[in-house]
Structure 1
Amino acid sequence: MTTGMSRRRFLGLSTAVAAGAAATSLTGCGSSAAGKGEAASAKVKLPSYAPFTKVKPDLAANAKGLSAGFLSYPEELVRSVTRTPGDGSKVTMLTEIWVQPPLSKGSNDHWRQVDKALGVELTAILGTDPGYEEKFPAIVAAGDLPDLMWIPPNQGLQHIAQLLEGKMADLTEYVSGDAVKDYPNLANMTPAHWKTAVVNGRIWGAPSPYPALGQVYGGNPEIWQKADGFSARSTEEFLDKCKEVTGGNVWALEPIYVNAVSVLSQCFGGPNKWARAKDGSVSYHMESEEFLEALNFVVKLKKAGVFYPGDPKMADAYVKMAQGRIGACVYANPAGARKDTRINDPALGAEILIPFDADGHKANAHLHAFGTIGYTAIKKGSEKRVRMLLDVLNYLAAPFGTKEREFLEFGTEGTDFTYDKDGFPQRTKQGKQQVEGLYSGLTTATTAPFVLQPASFPGDEGVQDVRDIYAVEKKLLATAVPNATIGHYSDAYTERFGRMQTESNDLVNDIVAGRRKISEWKPFWQEWGPKGLDRMKEEFRKSLEAAGE
């Protein structure tokens, strides 16, 4: 799965999904779901974590989110699936792809081989980015849902509880606790992954794991070399270094101010999206004092002239960093930062900024807001069919180093891929046409936990990249804090968050640009209390309380 999808927002789906849900009369069958929305995600036993041990990484993973690291491609691949999972029936899947679509099934030998390996006749409905936000509600409105349906993080979709309870299979009894061990590749996922598939106290799908750590600043080491590296021990030192590297045709930071405040709020010990206090109350990170302090600091950076003078939504910041015009950009996660800089310049490996203690605060790092990019739900059916489809998903979640994973990702040796000089598979022209797009959709549906491996990083420094990013992850995880509401549902959130986020982001941009005053920040959040924020916080609080968390 590419980490390049990070900046995409799934929130645009919310209004359309609400319309689709209404069109299929899900609100009628979902009255109980609506009633449970405020106390969603009651106690549920998450699937047991049973790491896949048949392939041993050079650098070990852990349940906290540290990625496994491989310094070479396994010499001998192993099997993770002992039998063909399917029963020969037709299976439809709705998922999303992040690359060029593959050749159609009629012209795609690899697709037909996937059918044979899975033991089903797979019809994959491949949404695109952008485009999925239109395809998803259209399919919901049509009424005849696919057997497998990828759902982006549930907090961004309205009425998702009704959709799940009305049309999809409750998977709790199949995967809760040790039951998941019937599906070993799914058991390889951590509880943090599974929490994103919990709605109203039930488990509704197989997760699509994503790197555990969230946004970071990645810097061009050639630019920061003159300032003794992209690191700091205080806000004063960070500001001084930004001034030092800014000059001529170079600016220290990209002008995406919202990302700057969010990442730098970690230096002030800011919450990760939603926080829970000792008294059980819930708060949103942008209303916190730590976020306000970070906003003040970004205003100071702006006045110092260290931001590139461009659009705060600029799309080519990564390219400008590779060109040596921008010193640092915000990336989805540490591995994504190193990979994306290598893509733009194979000789350029991003240096990751470790959050520093700012103005008397203890810094923290943020785990990824959702932990996954979604989950794939299964349409209601007999126990036999649900278990068969779980077996199919179990195959798709085959880990790195297995024969199943190599086949899904690269196809057949000699036609779809060849091994490079370091022993890693590389797709041929046919592989790019037939395998790449289909694999993108399959891995969006579900996949194994992310691993670090040299072939992910373009250029000749892949082994060092793995070591570097693994070390960065260890440092960040030492102080990482989670989003308190993962696995919990709020109707008010799905209804109102999109507008709240747009308005708050616009206000950040206006304050940093000098068009509005920072004194308007706290009143903005006071005004949003009765407009939906108070409901969000109370619904999340009740859900957390019901879950005994």
Structure 2
Amino acid sequence: MKRRSLLQLTGAGALGIAAGPGLAACSGGGSGGGSVGNAGKDLAPWPAYLPFAGPQPDAPGDDSIGVQPLYLNYPAQLTQSVAETPGDGSEVTAMVVTYEAPPKPLAENSYWQEISKALGVKLNVIVVPDPEYAQKMTTLMASGGDLPDIVMFTNLNLPRRAEFIQRSCADLTDLIAGDAIKQFPNLANIPAYAWQGMGRIGGRFFGVPLERPMPANTMFVNRTRLDEVGAPVDWNHDQYMSAMRDLSSGRRWGTGWYKTLFTSLSGITFHASSAGAPNNWAVRDGGFVHTGTTPQFEQALGVMREVTKAAVHYPDSLTASSTDMQNNFYNQTVASLPNGFGFLALSNLLKAGNRFAVGLARPYSPQATTWRSIGNFGFATFKKADPSRITMLLRICDYLSAPFGSKEYELVNYGIEGKHFTKENGVVTTTALYASENSATLPVRYIGTAPSVLHLPGFPDVAKAAHEWERAVMPRSVANPQNGLQSPIASAKGGQLDQILGDGIAAISFGRKPVSSWKDTISQWRAAGGDQLAEELAKEYQANA
């Protein structure tokens, strides 16, 4: 994830950089709950899970706790996962977000041409730059005009989103609920947590999730510099602070934060989870308790203040963008940086190159509750059409969601062999052309995407270290019980509630207010609708149990 606020992309609210509400949770049920809520509705069964029988990993994964399978080498033999060309020769238009420069035109883009040919359609892709995405989607939702065939939603908190989707997009339930999903084998290979994080609207399914692994926001570190100052892999709070001090001198700092949506700071999730705070919410005695009301979260605020007081974080953290801070990480201005797990990508590792080893920081306390993600980056919805066309659009998503170890995955993720990449001794090497023709510049990965695995060509040690990190921290990880739920107050006042919390976090972190002022922030949040939000989520949670 490479642009602006990770928070905007994960839909997590001021606190939940790691794991925000799903498709349903960001939009409410309108006055009195409305028809988009799930309470009292017949709930469609979750799509069946039919795992892909692909290549054996070097180390196994475990979906139950969020450990990904590890592949040190690229498979020598690939499987054909799609039997027939999915398209019918028609024109298909998809609107997606982008975090890169616009793609080269179709006539000049061999990757785009090959993808269109493989899909069997004339694929038109409307790319919306991330800074313009919220306004573009708000305008689209308000216009009442004709929609593209496929509209990709990130988990950004867009007001009344569920109502719009229910009103304007195709109900997919009869085609994908339960065993019906098996007609689309690659979609059936999407793990249950991705569907559950997306959620239902009025008991029905209106989208296909774009899977992301369970590990969520964490602290990426320059392991080379940490080793130089003797920082252990498993550390406690004092050792963490000592390492940050040792790494901060001259124009270099131990850590960097960046401002996220609603003025929160990206570092809070790492410290809150290290302290053992709940992942946004906890369910206790049938009720919802917000993480900000817990002593563990207040303890994390104290650490944020301690980091600032010690002058070990980048001084312009409150105004720096995520892109700025990522560049500071690559050039070693900062030795650690909180970010989403998607930051662990080949394109980012290539920017660090061989100058230093990229690692993941482990929590610094034994009571840590590593926060799990929502399980998806967003979801694809479809313009209403006759069943045969919706089936065809789902087959396109099915192709683009082909798993690691398949021929379709290779085309979508690497392009054309000999033109965009080469393979030798189990290692994929991209060419110069790949830099401008790939699934990031032409973001078909936001129409359909494969369940993620740990495979980082050219960086096997980083992949192994990431797998060891997952095995170490994910058994104690916790999910956000809000994922996939509906709430009218979240739709009507979610931004305002997040703003209150975010302002309080920033004021304490930068010393404008004492940690004790957090109680006043929580009181303001409760009065503005926080208590009502908790009541609505508890009711919806029981309906989805």
User: TM-score normalised by the shorter chain: which range applies?
Assistant: 0.7 to 0.9
Measure the CA separation in 1 of the matches of 2:506 and 2:274: 20
Match of 1:484 among 481, 504, 519: 481
Q: What residue in structure 1 maps to residue 278 of structure 2?
A: 271
Task: Tell me: CA distance 1:4–1:310, structure 2 relative to 1, closer, same or farther (3 Å).
Answer: closer
Alignment of 1:90-105 (within 5 A): 90-105=91-106
Alignment of 1:69-80 (within 5 A): 69-80=70-81
Q: What residue in structure 1 maps to residue 265 of structure 2?
A: 258
CA displacement at 1:40 relative to structure 2:
8.7
TM-score normalised by L of structure 1: 0.86
Q: Secondary structure at the match of 2:404?
A: coil
Q: Secondary structure at the match of 2:273?
A: coil
Q: What residue in structure 2 maps to residue 57 of structure 1?
A: 57
Q: What residue in structure 2 maps to residue 313 of structure 1?
A: 319
Q: What residue in structure 2 maps to residue 18 of structure 1?
A: none
Asked if 1:344 is matched to 2:352, the reply is yes
Q: Secondary structure at the match of 2:501?
A: helix
Q: What residue in structure 2 maps to residue 210 of structure 1?
A: 212
Q: What residue in structure 1 maps to residue 47 of structure 2?
A: 47
Task: Tell me: CA distance 1:465–1:235, structure 2 relative to 1, closer, same or farther (3 Å).
Answer: closer
Q: Secondary structure at the match of 1:9?
A: helix
Task: Tell me: CA distance 1:473–1:13, structure 2 relative to 1, closer, same or farther (3 Å).
Answer: closer
Alignment of 1:17-36 (within 5 A): 34-36=34-36
RMSD between aligned residues: 3.0
Q: What residue in structure 1 maps to residue 467 of structure 2?
A: 470
Q: What residue in structure 2 maps to residue 401 of structure 1?
A: 405
Contact kept in structure 1, 2:254 and 2:335, CA below 8 Å: yes
Q: Which runs of 5+ in 2 are unaligned?
A: 14-26, 259-263
Contact kept in structure 2, 1:274 and 1:284, CA below 8 Å: yes
CA-to-aligned-CA distance 1:172-192 (integer Å, 9 cap, x gap): 222222221111111111111
- Structure 1 counterpart of 2:473, one-letter code: L
Measure the CA separation in 2 of the matches of 1:41 and 1:128: 37
Task: Tell me: CA distance 1:245–1:332, structure 2 relative to 1, closer, same or farther (3 Å).
Answer: same
Task: Tell me: CA distance 1:70–1:337, structure 2 relative to 1, closer, same or farther (3 Å).
Answer: closer
Measure the CA separation in 1 of the matches of 2:453 and 2:195: 18
Measure the CA separation in 2 of the matches of 1:73 and 1:269: 37
Alignment of 1:447-526 (within 5 A): 447-455=449-457, 460=458, 462-526=459-523
Contact kept in structure 1, 2:257 and 2:338, CA below 8 Å: no
From the two aligned structures, give the one with the greater helix fraction.
1
Match of 1:411 among 411, 415, 418: 415
**Percent identity of paired positions between Structure 1 and Structure 2:** 26
- Structure 2 counterpart of 1:291, one-letter code: F
- Structure 1 counterpart of 2:533, one-letter code: M
Measure the CA separation in 2 of the matches of 1:227 and 1:41: 58
Task: Tell me: CA distance 1:313–1:129, structure 2 relative to 1, closer, same or farther (3 Å).
Answer: same
Q: What residue in structure 1 maps to residue 24 of structure 2?
A: none
Measure the CA separation in 2 of the matches of 1:334 and 1:438: 16
Measure the CA separation in 2 of the matches of 1:32 and 1:520: 34
Task: Tell me: CA distance 1:248–1:108, structure 2 relative to 1, closer, same or farther (3 Å).
Answer: closer
Measure the CA separation in 1 of the matches of 2:257 and 2:111: 43
Measure the CA separation in 2 of the matches of 1:486 and 1:269: 19
Measure the CA separation in 1 of the matches of 2:48 and 2:218: 30
Match of 1:283 among 282, 285, 289: 289
Q: What residue in structure 2 maps to residue 7 of structure 1?
A: 6
Contact kept in structure 1, 2:500 and 2:521, CA below 8 Å: no
CA displacement at 1:511 relative to structure 2:
1.4
For this pair of structures, how many residues does the alignment match?
521
Contact kept in structure 2, 1:58 and 1:71, CA below 8 Å: yes
Match of 1:365 among 360, 363, 370: 370
More off after superposition, 289-298 vs 51-60 = 51-60
CA displacement at 1:132 relative to structure 2:
1.8
Q: What residue in structure 1 maps to residue 18 of structure 2?
A: none
CA displacement at 1:543 relative to structure 2:
0.9
- Structure 1 counterpart of 2:451, one-letter code: P
Measure the CA separation in 2 of the matches of 1:415 and 1:426: 9
Q: Secondary structure at the match of 2:254?
A: strand
Q: What residue in structure 2 maps to residue 19 of structure 1?
A: none
Match of 2:534 among 520, 523, 537: 537
TM-score normalised by L of structure 2: 0.87
Contact kept in structure 2, 1:274 and 1:285, CA below 8 Å: yes
Measure the CA separation in 2 of the matches of 1:364 and 1:513: 25
Q: What residue in structure 2 maps to residue 190 of structure 1?
A: 191
CA-to-aligned-CA distance 1:57-81 (integer Å, 9 cap, x gap): 3232332332222111111222100
Measure the CA separation in 2 of the matches of 1:240 and 1:507: 27
CA displacement at 1:519 relative to structure 2:
2.3
CA displacement at 1:378 relative to structure 2:
1.7
- Structure 2 counterpart of 1:79, one-letter code: Q
CA displacement at 1:454 relative to structure 2:
2.5
Contact kept in structure 1, 2:190 and 2:451, CA below 8 Å: yes
- Structure 1 counterpart of 2:205, one-letter code: I
Contact kept in structure 2, 1:94 and 1:126, CA below 8 Å: yes
Measure the CA separation in 2 of the matches of 1:337 and 1:384: 37
Task: Tell me: CA distance 1:306–1:391, structure 2 relative to 1, closer, same or farther (3 Å).
Answer: same
